[in-house]
Structure 1
Amino acid sequence: MATTERDPILVEQDAGVVVITLNRPDKLNSFNGEMHRRLLAALTKAGEDPECRAVMLTGAGRAFSAGQDLSERVFEEGVAPDLSESLKKNYNPLVRIIRELEKPVLAAVNGVAAGAGANIALACDIVIAARSARFIQSFSKIGLVPDSGGTWTLPRLIGDARARALAFLAEPIYAELAAEWGMIWKAVDDDLLHVEARKLSAHLASQPTRSFALMKKAFLQSAVQTFDQQLDLEAQLQGEAGQTEDYRTGVSSFRAKQSPVFKGR
């Protein structure tokens, strides 16, 4: 489907990279129902597209995403909203597809990434951020609990003590400190963010992306398996990787002292 400047999601594809841009800049790319639907559809299509070998996710304007568009929350007197339904219908499918997509997903974070916006970014495989970017677990400011995987992702990235403090205090963490803590891959100068992100995305797309899919599966399973179970899984996945065309290409190129040309299969 073609996109226009008014669409809440913009999609472009170049040299194996699908670039998805959250496009509600006047609302700091906060999520409404239409953005949820369009982003999930774009990610699903990228996952199914054999020409897509990497995905880059970013935001238009001054923000990556400020999280939920609170103007969509309608309160009726005497009726408490069921926010669990919003998570089950909208946010959970988004973070699940990012984590499970058999392609590497890179987040290029510009400006603020708050609430669910922060945790959607942190669900990506690699996060690169502008130095002025900031990550905020803003949920406590409105009496809520971190969602979109935040309570799972943050302790594993930065440890339990820091994760609890960020959740309770809702203080902004700028990109350089986020990189220092291991929350993200790295911070770059603001004017270089998209140049660096596109360069890194293109590099990922040129690599043995089938092995990336297997790596993602291994990292996900490592959270729930014993060490012995993980060794068995690694053996299984390595067996699959060894059957790929890219493995044969990599070995033969190494022996010939040539740069490999991977096909992602």
Structure 2
Amino acid sequence: MSNTQLLFGRSGPIATLTLNRPHAGNAIDLSLARELLTAAIACDEDEGIRCVVLTGAGRYFCTGGDVGGFATAGDATPSLLKELTAYVHMAVARLARMGKPLVTAVNGPAAGAGIGLAALGDLALAARSAHFTLAYTAIGLSPDGGASWLLPRLIGLRRAQELIFTNSKVDADAAADMGLVTRAVDDAALVQETVELARKLAAGATAALGFSRRLLLCSFDNALETHMEAEARAIADASRTAQGREGIAAFIEKRKPDFWRMDGMPDEDPNEDTAV
């Protein structure tokens, strides 16, 4: 895949999407939004991809929408925003609902829609130089990119209200403490920790991870009995897969399961020579 605003890298079973407008803080314009959607669909559709990493080029992770473009659009700004959010929201939805895990490597400051993208990861690692500011209401706008849906679920309604209404800046360690990201890591360790995490997930039972993603995504919307029925169907379906059979057999035989081979993947080891 040839992109300019978004780099699509592939190393074995791991795909890495890199927001690539470092001169603009990786702010999202129409071109980047379109490329993000195209990449999200490609990751969703490619069965050889077992884990997706999302990160940013340069100093910033993502500073949100391209506000300069909003100003240039003038009276056409509402139309621009509707088109921009159409692409971004479709990309977020596909990344959220694909049957493989998403790791976000927040390499620097995130704001606006960048916070939605950072929080979207099943596992989100933040460099300690990163900080988070919603920033929408500071320029007279309201959240997008899934931020107002994700934040109450991850950090609670009260904290979400505070961050959205006051535009408080949150550093990486505080973001981890409140659950906005999984953990904060030293800047120099971010790439290596991301690689190790992506390798571990790529070598795992991706079918079970996909079922788990779907269950967690709908857990706030279902009544208990409805959700338990979804759990019952999911675990039964997981047991039908080659990975499920391998996991049960490995447990009984007291050995490590080989989910990679059970998926009919090529002989290369997903834990070797994989870069982000």
Shorter-chain TM-score bucket reads over 0.9
Moved more, 40-49 or 84-93: 84-93
Task: Give the distance between the partners of 2:77 and 2:243, measured in 1 at CA.
Answer: 54
Q: Give the counterpart of 2:167 among 161, 165, 170.
A: 170
Structure 1: runs of 5 or more not aligned: none
Aligned to 1:61: 58
Aligned to 1:35: 32
| TM superposition shift of 1:85 | 1.4
Q: Give the counterpart of 1:89 among 77, 86, 90.
A: 86
Q: Give the counterpart of 2:5 among 8, 24, 28.
A: 8
The superposition leaves residues 171-227 of structure 1 with CA deviations (integer Å, 9 ceiling, x where unpaired) of 111111111111111010000001101110111000001111111111111121101
Aligned to 1:156: 153
- Native 8 Å contact 1:105 1:126 kept in 2: yes
- Native 8 Å contact 1:18 1:55 kept in 2: yes
- Native 8 Å contact 2:37 2:90 kept in 1: yes
Q: TM-score, normalised by structure 1?
A: 0.94
- Native 8 Å contact 1:130 1:175 kept in 2: yes
The superposition leaves residues 100-150 of structure 1 with CA deviations (integer Å, 9 ceiling, x where unpaired) of 111101000011110001111112211111011111111011011111111
Q: TM-score, normalised by structure 2?
A: 0.90
The superposition leaves residues 65-111 of structure 1 with CA deviations (integer Å, 9 ceiling, x where unpaired) of 0011112213446x662466135522211211121111101000011
State whether structure 2 residue 138 is matched by structure 1 residue 141: yes
- Native 8 Å contact 1:176 1:186 kept in 2: yes
- Native 8 Å contact 1:118 1:137 kept in 2: yes
Task: Give the distance between the partners of 2:52 and 2:229, measured in 1 at CA.
Answer: 29
State whether structure 2 residue 203 is matched by structure 1 residue 223: no
Structure 1's 49 and 225: CA in aligned 2 closer, same or farther, altered over 3 A?
Answer: same
What letter corresponds to residue 144 of structure 1 in structure 2?
L
Task: Give the distance between the partners of 1:80 and 1:186, measured in 2 at CA.
Answer: 37
Task: Give the distance between the partners of 1:72 and 1:30, measured in 2 at CA.
Answer: 10
State whether structure 2 residue 34 is matched by structure 1 residue 24: no
* Count of aligned pairs between the two proteins: 261
| TM superposition shift of 1:47 | 1.3
What letter corresponds to residue 15 of structure 1 in structure 2?
G
Aligned to 1:106: 103
- Native 8 Å contact 1:56 1:105 kept in 2: yes
| TM superposition shift of 1:239 | 1.1
What is the percent sequence identity of the aligned residues? 35
- Native 8 Å contact 2:36 2:88 kept in 1: no
State whether structure 2 residue 46 is matched by structure 1 residue 49: yes
State whether structure 2 residue 126 is matched by structure 1 residue 118: no
Task: Give the distance between the partners of 1:88 and 1:68, measured in 2 at CA.
Answer: 9
Provide the secondary structure at the position in 1 that maps to 2:105. Answer: strand
Q: Once superposed, what is the RMSD of the aligned Cα atoms?
A: 1.6
Runs (4+) of structure 1 exceeding 4 A deviation are: none
